[in-house]
Structure 1
Amino acid sequence: MTAGAEVRPVRTEADIAAVRTLVWAFFDFLRERYPDMLAEIDAYIEAQDVQGQLERFAETFLPPAGDCFVGRLDDLPLGCVMLKSKGDGTSEMNRMYVAPEARGHGLGRKLGEALIAAARDRGDRTLFLDALYRHVEALPLYESLGFERYTDPDAVGGDDGRFIHMKLDLT
């Protein structure tokens, strides 16, 4: 881990702008990694109204609705993760991304730990996430943070093996 790796909650316009850029970099990464799923990725972006969520960032991803963290390496914003409330004591980890040049410095772990702590502080009992099957960097990290895989036949994309559904009991 690099001494210059830090994670902080997003609270400034500059941090919001950095996270918006990182979210689109995340989707560019997905398109590159999953060229066989371009239609699904685009459908997800549209169905989730990603553009609209990013335009309404504060009401979607900042307290009390959710939370967001930016990861910095040597003060450059190179990672992010979002906490989105699902209601009834549950939240979702959304769009964790660490830029390639920042990987291997513990930034992903710090982002995950910050998000889990925020979910607990909010009083959430369960934290969910979905990942795609070739997220070879992220899946072991999620498991090491305590997430467990589960079957969710009602999830977007179903359970065709390409979508990995995970949850973490926070109680």
Structure 2
Amino acid sequence: MSVEIMPIQPQFDADIRNIIKSVGAEFGAVGEGYGPSDPEVNNMSAFYTEQNQSCYFIALKDGVVIGGCGVAPFTKGSTTCELKKLFLTKGARGLGLGEKLSTYCLSFAKTQGFSECYLDTLSNMTSAIKLYEKLGFTHLLEPLEDTVHNRCDVWMLKKL
């Protein structure tokens, strides 16, 4: 299988939005307090830019978007970034793409001077949690203070 990893471009915004929304629904992440409801989901290429110290990588198989993952500052001016919106279609799971996309994001975060990376997710996303643990994220007892995803129930942090 040949998969291309590249930064998000405007022509792929609708595709990744549909993946984020459908995978979110699959795991019950629907409505306020979940990542798929964030305003940026409607225009990912405009939100994730180097000027914003952020990036979003997509995975393409035969020119079709099959998933993506991003990283952005947790809050403006923070030395903590957030791993965001790692979503893969069913057929793209279990192939190592989540790890590859996350690694691209974490490498980018290091170049931007972030010292740690936060994420929040759902306890029913067990494969994602195993991946995050493998990448060196450790569990927190509660979310970071300014989290906007107040309906997530798993919080993790990694030193970069």
In which range does the TM-score fall when normalised by the shorter chain? 0.7 to 0.9
2:56 maps to a residue whose letter is C
> In 2, Cα distance between the equivalents of 1:75 and 1:56?
19
Q: CA deviation at 1:70?
A: 0.3
Shift of 1:60: 2.5
In the TM superposition, residue 58 of structure 1 has moved relative to its aligned partner by 4.2
Establish whether residue 16 from structure 1 lines up as the match of residue 4 from structure 2: no
Higher normalized helix content (fraction of residues): 1
Q: C-alpha displacement at 1:48, in angstroms?
A: 8.4
Residues 1:145 and 2:135 aligned together: yes
CA distances 1:46-89 after superposition (whole Å, capped 9, x unpaired): x9862x32345345222221210101234321111121212321
Q: 1:89 to 1:54 in 2, by over 3 A?
A: same
Residue of structure 1 in register with 2:3 after alignment: 5
Gap change, CA 1:16 and 1:43, over 3 Å in 2: closer
- Cα 1:88–1:16, aligned 2, differ >3 Å: closer, same or farther? same
1:109, 1:49 → 2: CA distance?
A: 24
Partner AA of 1:137 in structure 2:
S
Deviation readout 1:83-119 (Å, 9 max, x if unpaired): 1212321111111111101112111111111111111
Question: Hey, what does 1:44 align to over in structure 2?
Answer: 33
**Amino acid paired to 2:31:** D
Partner AA of 1:5 in structure 2: V
Cα deviation code 1:1-37 (max 9, x no counterpart):
x4x1332111x22133322222212322222xxxxxx
Gaps of 5+ in 1: 32-37
Distance 1:16 1:166, change over 3 A: same
Aligned to 2:84: 94
Which TM-score applies when normalising by structure 2?
Answer: 0.83
CA RMSD of aligned residues (A): 2.4
In structure 2, runs of 5+ residues without a counterpart are none
Q: Give yes or no for contact 1:26–1:95 (8 Å, CA) kept in 2.
A: no
Note closer, same or farther for the CA distance 1:48–1:74 as it changes in structure 2 (3 Å cut): closer
Secondary structure, counterpart of 1:44 in structure 2: coil
Give TM-score scaled by structure 1 length. 0.78
Task: Tell me the distance in 2 between the aligned counterparts of 1:48 and 1:111.
Answer: 18
CA distance in structure 1 between the aligned counterparts of 2:103 and 2:96, rounded to whole angstroms: 11
| Count of residues in Structure 1 that have an aligned counterpart in Structure 2 | 154
Partner in structure 2 of residue 84 of structure 1: 72
